[in-house]
Chain A
Amino acid sequence: MPGITREEVAHLARLARLELTDEELDHFAGQLDDIIGAVARVADVATEDVPPTSHPLPLTNVMRPDEVRPGLTARQALSGAPAQEQQRFKVPQILGEE
């Protein structure tokens, strides 16, 4: 059963914006490999007549009517923002100079 390589863990860490040291990478790569190996055993019992499960409850079509419900005020919405300006969330530079 293929597990996960150190390079893949490094790639995922980058995509998830996690800064991992070399030691942490070694550590997590080993742990994740074990976890994936354990979970992979599901494949041994899940034959073709067992569809993959993404939801534990046998529910479909849970919907709400298209009716406006009260939300947050701008002040409430911005209350957790590290920085704000003009009633908007202020974020650092997205792209540098071209």
Chain B
Amino acid sequence: MTVTELVSYEDALTSYDPVMGLEVHVELGTKTKMFCGCATTLGAEPNTQTCPTCLGLPGALPVVNAVGVESAVRIGLALNCEIAEWCRFARKNYFYPDMPKNFQTSQYDEPIAFHGYLDVELADGEVFRVGIERAHMEEDTGKSTHIGGAAGRIHGASHSLLDYNRAGIPLIEIVTKPITGAGARAPEVARAYVAELRELIRSLGVSEARMEMGQLRCDVNVSLRPHGREAFGTRSETKNVNSLRSVERSVRFEIQRHAAVLGDGGTIVQETRHFHEDNGTTTSGRVKEEAEDYRYFPEPDLVPVAPERAWVEELRSELPELPLARRTRLREEWGISAHEMQSALNAGAIDLVVATIAEGADPAAARKWWLGELARRANEQATELAALPITPAQVARVAALVAEGSLNDKLARQTIEGVLAGEGGPDEVVEKRGLRIVSDEGALGQAVDDAIAGNPAIADKIRGGKVAAAGALVGAVMKATRGQADAARARQLILERLGAAE
């Protein structure tokens, strides 16, 4: 393997203009496969969800899944696409062990949806419009396990084992138009596009679109052209980039690699490449010579799909509020910046904050708890925010207890800790752990008197006008009350008793 000396990202952008094309495969969350009634349950024992159709046995006939078609139309509409009045499936012919039929049932020149766009928002709030070339229906392949090579890699494997449970699960492939004009922000645009698409797919409820589960996979095409040139350069296609971070890194890496090759007077080979999560580089995969010779032809075993206009309009009218529009609306309602909304999105907190507000919390408090304490705990446990064992209603209750003065922040955090530890709801935890703030003047007054008596030197300073020293006595009061005192009230009492004023 030849190691390419990379050109710095800045230098690459000085000389060249990047062009991208993104192909995203979304695995639909249908109960059954695209062309047969086999179950799609995740984690089933190998080869227990197959039938003659998805195994490609002789005489088997496919019938298309109605929900698969409906999902494709809804995705197309949400991407502002035109929906074909009439379209067919096609056979994409190739031999590979993961495709038992020796062809993939796909769509060729008649995709169900085409000519759309998706607006994506960058971290600073700038909106970038990504053109959508097409979205078409197809099916997934089986899963290979390579035996005998290093770390399960196909290279050096002595043989491979195939599980066809996944073969035939519906996929929607969404292809962008060439993305130009992103300049130095190309990696960020690529990431934002895949992130927005993922949100869109989830909002439609057609797939959970979890990248780590392979439910949303991205192929990243990158080419460079000298500034001012119209024609695109030769592209490389980095396959199966499976996280948002990797999408961004792979684009950045390919821009630097292409610039290095071109700068040396070399030429880019049109090929597929593999991305390596560990070091952020790509390496050469297969060269695309005749691999393109798929001899597509119309699928004779499936009749054309002709979505009725009235049905398409009905689906359009039933689309949910789309994620970017929703975030823009929520940003105004919550009074936060694009950057803050981006953090909430990245943390997977938006729906949780919305639900917490619906339970009566104010927006700032809801955001504070989910993005602060709870995000920290989710991060510690390497889990998703939504997977934490606390409900929006419980978070709203904690916020209410703080708002009414029953808890301070520290006690609220302990309450949350108790809820997460399974000790019950917030009120129960407060009760059991005795967390309610000490606001009864008698107990607090006693603690204040003790603090003054125990720290005569500090008390003198305060009497002498050094009000800032009061903090130390407040600390002593908090310590004596195990954090349950109302700190502001304690400070007030200390100053009163020592005859000092703010």
Contacts and interface: CB of A to CB of B under 8 A. Distances in A.
Interface string B36-57: 1111000001111111100101
Contact of B46 (A17, A86, A91, A92): A86
Interface in A64-78: 64-74, 77-78
A85 B161 CA distance: 7
A61 B160 CA distance: 38
Interface string A34-57: 000000000000000000001101
Interface in A2-18: 11-12, 15, 17
Given A66-B66, A87-B45, A72 B95 contact: no
Contacts, number: 137
Given A66-B30, A87-B46, A89-B47, A71 B69 contact: no
A61 B306 contact: yes
B161 A88 contact: yes
Contacts of A70: 37
Interface in B31-88: 31-32, 36-39, 45-52, 55, 57, 63-69, 86, 88
B480 interface: no
A88 B97 CA distance: 12
A98 B150 CA distance: 12
A63 B327 CA distance: 36
A87 to B, nearest CB: 5
B37 A71 contact: yes
A69 B327 CA distance: 40
A21 interface: no
Contacts of A86: 46, 145, 161
Contacts of B51: 69, 71-72
A71 B36 contact: yes
Contact of A64 (B39, B65, B163): B65
Contacts of A71: 36-39, 49-51
A68 B165 CA distance: 13
Interface stretch (B111-119, B293-301, B467-475): B293-301
Given A59-B303, A68-B39, A77-B55, A89 B66 contact: no
B216 to A, nearest CB: 20
Contacts of B38: 68-69, 71
B27 to A, nearest CB: 14
A18 B157 CA distance: 26
Given A77-B164, A78-B47, A69 B97 contact: no
Contacts of B86: 60
B298 A54 contact: yes
B381 interface: no
Contacts of A62: 63-64, 302-303
Contact of A73 (B48, B67, B96, B160): B48
Interface in B136-165: 144-147, 154-164
A78 B164 CA distance: 10
Contacts of A95: 154-155, 157
The 9 A-B pairs at the shortest CB distance, nearest first, are namely A69-B37, A71-B51, A88-B161, A54-B298, A66-B67, A63-B66, A60-B306, A89-B162, A74-B47
18 contacts: A15-B293, A61-B303, A61-B304, A62-B302, A66-B65, A66-B66, A71-B49, A74-B46, A86-B46, A88-B46, A88-B163, A89-B162, A90-B162, A91-B160, A93-B158, A94-B97, A94-B144, A98-B156
Interface of B: 30-32, 36-39, 45-52, 55, 57, 63-69, 86, 88, 93, 95-97, 144-147, 154-164, 290, 293, 295, 298, 300, 302-307
Given A91-B159, A97-B155, 16 more contacts: A17-B95, A61-B303, A63-B64, A63-B69, A64-B37, A64-B66, A68-B32, A71-B36, A85-B159, A89-B97, A89-B164, A90-B160, A94-B144, A94-B157, A95-B155, A95-B157
